[in-house]
A and B are shown apart, each in its own frame.
Chain A
Amino acid sequence: AQKVTQAQTEISVVEKEDVTLDCVYETRDTTYYLFWYKQPPSGELVFLIRRNSFDEQNEISGRYSWNFQKSTSSFNFTITASQVVDSAVYFCALSEARRDDKIIFGKGTRLHILP
């Protein structure tokens, strides 16, 4: 069965600090996709990244970086030099690489960036 665990329910950091959001997943499939979404207070889901299970290279996009480690079934997300606009709920998610597979979301981590 698929499962995504985000153990951190809520995190508060002061602006400009770095922060890492943890994500651990479970799946029996060898081929799958991992995602991160941002949900700001307005409620929409903003797509951040999708990573194929065969690609373990870390990825950096501006202040955002992702660390994918299959050995520990983790896909952690780091925000460098955090800003108040980064305040949101962040969801890690998983889908199997089938034709029309659903996305399974974690419970989310609420991130507060304090000015």
Chain B
Amino acid sequence: EPEVTQTPSHQVTQMGQEVILRCVPISNHLYFYWYRQILGQKVEFLVSFYNNEISEKSEIFDDQFSVERPDGSNFTLKIRSTKLEDSAMYFCASTRGGKETQYFGPGTRLLVL
């Protein structure tokens, strides 16, 4: 069964460094999402992406964040200058369409020191 994959599974970085989190959505999916879960808290929506542009973003998704689909398979989340509070689990999700189920990847656990 096809699945969403994410790399790396864990990343440790220093405050102020740039990080890129990578996701490979399911191949025939058209809509892509990033969510964040701070340890012990709920999963929060960051951004949705369709047709090579952002569809919607939350207030968490400020200028330090960007998303890109650089080729036909990868979907990336870049944090330009990480802060301590960016430490969280980041989940990628994809779906064929808005009325279809979103499939989540296993997550990337980011720790900012």
Please classify the interface of chain A as helix (H, G, I), strand (E, B), loop, or mixed, using the class held by over half of its residues.
Answer: loop
A74-115 at interface with B (beta carbon < 8 Å): 91, 93, 95, 97-108
Tell me whether B84 is interfacial, beta carbon within 8 Å: no
- Say whether A105 contacts B43, CB under 8 Å: yes
Q: How large is the interface on B (under 10, 10 to 19, 20 to 34, 35 or more residues)?
A: 20 to 34
Please classify the interface of chain B as helix (H, G, I), strand (E, B), loop, or mixed, using the class held by over half of its residues.
Answer: strand
- Say whether A108 contacts B42, CB under 8 Å: yes
Tell me whether A41 is interfacial, beta carbon within 8 Å: no
Tell me whether A62 is interfacial, beta carbon within 8 Å: no
Given contacts A45-B91, A47-B101, A97-B98, contact A102 B107 (CB under 8 A): no
Residues of B within 8 A of A37 (CB): 104
- Footprint of B on A, CB under 8 Å? 37, 43-45, 47, 50, 91, 93, 95, 97-108
